[in-house]
Structure 1
Amino acid sequence: MLIDQQDKSRIDAEIRMMDGVAVLTIRNPPVNAGSHAVRKGLADGLAAAVRNGASGAVIVGDGRCFMAGSDLKEFGKKLEWPELPDVIRLVEDAPFPVVAAMHGVALGGGLELALGCDYRLAAPGTMVGLPEVSLGFVPGAGGTQRLPRLTGLVHGIDLICAARRIPADQAATIGLVDRVVEGDLLAGALAFLAGAARPKRLTMALTPPADDPVAIDAAADKALHRGKGRPNVAEAIRLIRRAAEGDGADALADERAVFQRLRVGEDATALRHLFFSERRAAAVDGLDMGLARAVGSVGVIGGGTMGQGIVRCFLAAGLPVTLVERDRDALARAMSGVRGSLDAALEKGRLTPDEAARRKAAVTGATGYDALSGCDLAIEAVFEDMQVKRDVLGRLERVLAPDAILATNTSYLDIDAMAEGLAHRGRVVGLHFFSPADVMPLLEVVRTDMTDNATLATALKLARKLGKQPVVARVAEGFIGNRIYAAYRRRAELLVLDGANPEQVDRAATAFGFAMGPFAVADMSGLDIAWAMRKRQAPTRDPRARYVTIPDTLCEIGRLGRKTGGGWYDYPQGKPVPSEQVAAVIAKARQAAGVVPVGIDDDAIQRQLLAAIVNEAALLLEQGVAQRPSDVDVTLCNGYGFPRWRGGPLWWAAHQDRAAIRDDQARLADAIGYGFVAGPVDRMLDSIVSEHKG
């Protein structure tokens, strides 16, 4: 026994002998991260098993999973012996077969450890995968070599480069898992060893299953395109191809050298920042999460595009939903839309027949609010109009239980004002989903001045149940994301007014790494959404401020984006192409504003778009709209297509030359002119640098 079984505070690996088999239990709650202490415990346990004359060994995880990966906190430092490859070498050198018995998750270093074992068993539902590429580096303990030797190179490239997690039954189908064990996992592993001769079977001694070279090339091209050509993706592909070349020892050394180099590179450092930031964003300092209430049933008011997406999101989380619409015709259309989307998912193989049937049965429709009386939470997704939303919340308060949550999906409106007149304003919270609601990972949880701690805790717990990345915001125009995006979009429009064209701005944005440019995004989401906001703001707009009329004109002539066949671009074959009509609108707007267009290069466009984001972020942080700078990074990366490998806009800015950032801000002030408000950018960036060093 290496440690006292009752000492749950210890991080280690424990060994016990059961009928001549050494059982090594990984214990590092909550997810058994493969820290140095765990690696050392495994090494000591294997040595003890050899001394005790074990006939075999089983490695299992304590608690809720096998091993959820390595300890990322160690990755910015020098790794201590034994590193994971050292532990795997001990597994391979052991004179007896070693079985990995996996449950919960086996990810990253956890799966690499299992790949180094002679056999791999898994409990039903276990998720396995190698997420390293999504963190800016490559697997470093044999993942690129051992996994393809079991699955073939096509599956290897797909799984590793996409950082995909797959369930145990699928892993068994492609050869990654030897057996899925029903019932007690440890008992099943011991029976597996006792039931037949189990010789040593080193994965590195296997030859990868044959794949068509054309299919391998196609998988590599797809992975490189999907990974936007990032260096770690290219290296992962190169290393996976080496698995078919037979020089195993050299390939492992090559992989480890690449891993060691990339894990301290810019991409990996930025992605680790984002990894930890996403976990911090799901918490509020001082909030007692024990106050969270259970949500067992949900009501959704409004069955339009957003409402249907929210319904699908709750159904996917296993929650029954009551959908309310204003009349029978609207309800029939909404219910048909929800069921149709489930049918489409079934046809594409994304849902099993049983799951599709379960979700259909879990959604009911109604035209009266009384049907919501038993719901623990109701969320409105109606038209973005203050009076309409106030009326909905008032009607909900009259039918829901006193402790049920009243949520709004508003994108811009003042939720404090929306809740005025309610008797229980503490149970009102914003749940701002992003379209499509069942796909986009971000969920802004908007805390009003009156939202109580139990409601906030419940909302955060619910976000996790929905599989969403929550970020907490205070009430402000556009909250965190849309407020920053409005400043970004305004700067993009001014760039067009001053001499750029929409396609050039979009090209510069995507070259930086954005998933889409601002004008392509506007066309996709619809120009009328921002137009409604601008019309609402018009009475308070200072006439001395620069204002770009181009998007208003486009809306006035019916160019609302893809849904009308044209917006900033034309869509003759469904693909965006520059529009002569838009060019004429731009020229007329320049003439009316007295602007003589000048050439603007792509680098200047990029830096000005980023300057607008950084300045607005500094302002909203100063005003307490966001809790911390890293929350801004999480918001922009998860909801607005900011490139994850850059860590978010504020992480990026904090690692730029400070003089260049100041120059960018000065140019931003000149371009916006009257009414520009400078945010405390220097102070914000200093705080980011200080926190990182700490």
Structure 2
Amino acid sequence: MSQAVVAEVQGNVAVLYMQNPPVNALSQSVRVGLIENIKQALDNDNVHAIVISSQLALFSGGADISEFSGGNLEPHLPNVLDVIENASKPIIAVLNGPAFGGGLEVALSCHYRVTFASNKVGLPEVNLGILPGAGGTQRLPRLAGVAKALDMIVSGRPEKASKLSGVFDLIVEDPSNLLSEAMAFVQKVIADGAKIRKTADVAIDKASAPDELFAQYRQGLKKQARGFFAPERCIQAVEASVSLPFEQGLVREGELFMECMGSKEARAQQHFFFAERAASHVSDYDKSTPVRDIKQVGIIGAGTMGGGIAMNFANAGIPVIMLELKQEALDKGLALIRKNYENSAKKGKLTQQAVEERMALLTGSTEYAALSDVDLVIEAVFEKMSVKKEVFAALDKVCKPGAILASNTSTLDVNEIAESTSRPEDVIGLHFFSPANVMKLLEVVKADKTSAEVIKTSMQMAKKINKVAVLVGVCFGFVGNRMIEPYGREAARLMLEGATPQQVDKIIYDFGLPMGPFTMGDMAGLDIGFYVRESRREFIEHDPSYCVVSDRLVKQGRVGLKSGRGAYMYEPGNRTPIPDPEVVEMAKEEAARLGVAQRDISEQEILERIIFPLINEGALILEEGIAAKSSDIDVIYVYGYGFPVYRGGPMQYADEIGLKKVYDAMCKYRDELGEYGGHWFEPAPLLKKLAEQGKRFADFKQ
């Protein structure tokens, strides 16, 4: 008998405990164990009721998605739920912890459900590009109500049990009393005649789910579901629970589930699910590598970035000392942090007490000596090598042995920064993305001499502050900003060749990014890119057309949203870009000066010329070992740059459409665009090799 489910008979009740660490995934062994133990309990005349619970902290995290790749994995979950729902003795689910996906579907198929008020349950399958495929879309509307079920299934968000009184027959306030109160409830069920209450038999009041409910829901979902395949199928499945009898509803759910499973969006979202987890698996350290304790953190620079970084640590309960050389700048920085917290409190995201607790963890100083006892210090000052080196030389003198010295640089050489200290093994890059208190990504940049201990500590620290860390090597811009360079460069060049900013931005927005390159440049500030170009003129001097319009805009003071004009115009207090004919005229003038012919450019060419060079740069990064695996690049691009998760990231997108398509297009533009094409569209050797072999980036191993 399966060891993933253990059974014990307590008087007249058989209690089945799932025990499949770490999250009680409903793997084949669990499914087999449930059926075997239920049948055994049904055959035992002394057993009058059956309880399904868990010996782990979770009731169940849901399906084992590693099984999605196929094989004979009977019994399938719907078969298990059939056995539960059609059992001749009452089956009671006692949820001792969270139940997600298939875990909640198991509970919904039981005849009664018991849990505690603060417990969370949900059907998050939409996040994997699919829908609940074991009756969740048919059973949840019958118990929770159609509107609530629709919201839970389409959003994938978990809900507290206290808000799901229709789902649970008993909600216990104190989790420590759950088992005793649950067993008392089971005895009452037995005493009342051991009635079988099938969720399938619950009738849905069609008046509670008029057509307008679904129409309004679709309308409200338009923006956030843009590009995703599964949300609409989730809605259709819930509609089926209202319009069809239960058995037919299950059939329709199954059809929609298979549609989702076969979609490129599901492949992308499932790839990303694994990619995010794989990012933490690195070869630079092992289990025996010690980890340093981070009890106190220093932040140098109390500006927008420094303040955002500080908030991450305060949110995690870690004290922070913020350093600014001028008291005025320090006071301003701390006041901005308080304002951010107060805004969160106004929105109900924080209590006032929590605001004060977090602010109490933040102190300031104008003296480097105040950092003498910190375990980690993060520098967030102006992006200039001479300034960074000066800061690190000062830190080297005051910080205690074993303190980790980190730079928040977004482009600069961490090896060179490390050389300004006597302890390069303790120096690392921690590249936070703006706004640092919101963005989930953290590029952890290992320098040549960074110790395994410092790398491991940094990767684990990222989890504590709720970041997704990706380990990368040293090169200009690391992974994210190095790849954004060809993306921005091609947008600028396409404008010279005759495309308008709004045309380019619309194509990239329609592809799935939150905004196009020109809008993004205006939002960030065109001066930022200008300063980067000024520091790297030797890299681009062979191309006189390189971002010439952007340079001209900056020299005129048109640096984007903050100045009211950039690639677009902006009305005061309004972030909506307004097309500017002057910019189009400026591009015509520069094109004429440089001898660049203007023409009508197809949508396909615009998309390929902006996205494919970015992918090509990713191939170079992989080949150079700057990123350990292609999925790491995908994590960086989804979390750091808004690449659509339903495309899985740029490298997964390339794998999906075929590397030969990307390679052939790079060769085409290299040959068609003359000297410019020769400079910028040479395919990466790795792209060429994999395309010729019919392989994917995912197949490449260092």
Deviates more, 1:36-45 or 1:22-31: 22-31
Contact 1:162 1:223 (8 Å CA) reproduced: no
Per the TM alignment, residue 444 of structure 1 is displaced from its structure 2 partner at its CA by 0.8
Other-structure match for 1:306: 305
Residue 499 of structure 1 aligns with an amino acid whose one-letter code is G
Identity %: 36
* CA separation of 1:687 and 1:393: change in aligned 2, threshold 3 A: farther
Other-structure match for 1:565: 564
Deviates more, 1:269-278 or 1:598-607: 269-278
Other-structure match for 1:205: 201
Normalization by structure 1: what TM-score? 0.92
Q: Distance in 2 between matches of 1:690 and 1:528?
A: 35
> Among 278, 283, 286, which residue is 1:285 paired with?
283
Q: Distance in 2 between matches of 1:480 and 1:659?
A: 23
Structure 1 residues 448-459: aligned runs within 5 Å: 448-459=447-458
Q: Distance in 2 between matches of 1:379 and 1:106?
A: 39
Per the TM alignment, residue 76 of structure 1 is displaced from its structure 2 partner at its CA by 2.5
Q: Distance in 1 between matches of 2:339 and 2:543?
A: 50
Residue 524 of structure 1 aligns with an amino acid whose one-letter code is M
Other-structure match for 1:683: 689
Other-structure match for 1:614: 615
Per the TM alignment, residue 167 of structure 1 is displaced from its structure 2 partner at its CA by 4.2
Contact 1:377 1:407 (8 Å CA) reproduced: yes
Residue 134 of structure 1 aligns with an amino acid whose one-letter code is N
Residue 655 of structure 1 aligns with an amino acid whose one-letter code is E
Runs of 5+ in structure 1 lacking a partner?
Answer: 4-9
Other-structure match for 1:68: 61
* CA separation of 1:176 and 1:489: change in aligned 2, threshold 3 A: farther
Deviates more, 1:463-472 or 1:60-69: 60-69
User: SS at the partner of 1:190?
Assistant: helix
Per the TM alignment, residue 527 of structure 1 is displaced from its structure 2 partner at its CA by 1.5
* CA separation of 1:324 and 1:123: change in aligned 2, threshold 3 A: farther
Contact 2:690 2:697 (8 Å CA) reproduced: no
Q: Distance in 2 between matches of 1:192 and 1:373?
A: 59
1:605-660 C-alpha deviation (Å, 9 max, x unpaired): 11111211121111111111111112112211221121212222222222335543
Other-structure match for 1:221: 219
* CA separation of 1:400 and 1:262: change in aligned 2, threshold 3 A: same
Normalization by structure 2: what TM-score? 0.91
1:121-171 C-alpha deviation (Å, 9 max, x unpaired): 445654322221121111101222222333333332322222213444455
Per the TM alignment, residue 177 of structure 1 is displaced from its structure 2 partner at its CA by 8.1
* CA separation of 1:206 and 1:355: change in aligned 2, threshold 3 A: farther
Q: Distance in 2 between matches of 1:301 and 1:243?
A: 57
* CA separation of 1:304 and 1:208: change in aligned 2, threshold 3 A: farther
Count of residues in Structure 1 that have an aligned counterpart in Structure 2 = 686
Structure 1 residues 328-407: aligned runs within 5 Å: 328-407=327-406
* CA separation of 1:629 and 1:319: change in aligned 2, threshold 3 A: same
Q: Distance in 2 between matches of 1:154 and 1:124?
A: 21
Other-structure match for 1:6: none
User: SS at the partner of 2:442?
Assistant: strand
* CA separation of 1:317 and 1:116: change in aligned 2, threshold 3 A: farther
Deviates more, 1:50-59 or 1:513-522: 50-59
* CA separation of 1:401 and 1:167: change in aligned 2, threshold 3 A: farther
Residue 668 of structure 2 aligns with an amino acid whose one-letter code is R
Structure 1 residues 33-48: aligned runs within 5 Å: 33-48=25-40
* CA separation of 1:173 and 1:84: change in aligned 2, threshold 3 A: closer
Q: Is structure 2 residue 554 aligned with structure 1 residue 555?
A: yes
Per the TM alignment, residue 674 of structure 1 is displaced from its structure 2 partner at its CA by 5.0
Per the TM alignment, residue 427 of structure 1 is displaced from its structure 2 partner at its CA by 1.6
Per the TM alignment, residue 318 of structure 1 is displaced from its structure 2 partner at its CA by 2.9
Deviates more, 1:583-592 or 1:543-552: 543-552
Per the TM alignment, residue 176 of structure 1 is displaced from its structure 2 partner at its CA by 10
Residue 372 of structure 2 aligns with an amino acid whose one-letter code is S
Contact 2:629 2:700 (8 Å CA) reproduced: no
User: SS at the partner of 1:54?
Assistant: coil
User: SS at the partner of 1:655?
Assistant: helix
* CA separation of 1:405 and 1:124: change in aligned 2, threshold 3 A: farther
Q: Is structure 2 residue 23 aligned with structure 1 residue 55?
A: no
Contact 2:655 2:698 (8 Å CA) reproduced: no
Structure 1 residues 205-284: aligned runs within 5 Å: 205-207=201-203, 210=208, 214=212, 216-245=214-243, 247-284=245-282
User: SS at the partner of 1:183?
Assistant: helix
Q: Distance in 2 between matches of 1:464 and 1:687?
A: 37
* CA separation of 1:124 and 1:384: change in aligned 2, threshold 3 A: farther
Q: Distance in 2 between matches of 1:170 and 1:314?
A: 32
Q: Distance in 1 between matches of 2:422 and 2:409?
A: 21
* CA separation of 1:173 and 1:576: change in aligned 2, threshold 3 A: farther
Query: CA RMSD for the aligned pairs?
Result: 2.6
Per the TM alignment, residue 684 of structure 1 is displaced from its structure 2 partner at its CA by 4.5
Q: Distance in 2 between matches of 1:21 and 1:369?
A: 67
User: SS at the partner of 2:302?
Assistant: coil
Contact 1:151 1:176 (8 Å CA) reproduced: no
* CA separation of 1:693 and 1:347: change in aligned 2, threshold 3 A: same
Q: Distance in 2 between matches of 1:278 and 1:234?
A: 25
Q: Distance in 1 between matches of 2:132 and 2:169?
A: 16
Contact 2:568 2:577 (8 Å CA) reproduced: yes
Per the TM alignment, residue 341 of structure 1 is displaced from its structure 2 partner at its CA by 1.0
Residue 206 of structure 1 aligns with an amino acid whose one-letter code is V
Q: Distance in 2 between matches of 1:253 and 1:588?
A: 62
Other-structure match for 2:599: 598
Contact 2:59 2:103 (8 Å CA) reproduced: yes
* CA separation of 1:461 and 1:360: change in aligned 2, threshold 3 A: same
Per the TM alignment, residue 223 of structure 1 is displaced from its structure 2 partner at its CA by 2.4
User: SS at the partner of 1:244?
Assistant: helix
Per the TM alignment, residue 504 of structure 1 is displaced from its structure 2 partner at its CA by 0.9
Other-structure match for 2:434: 435
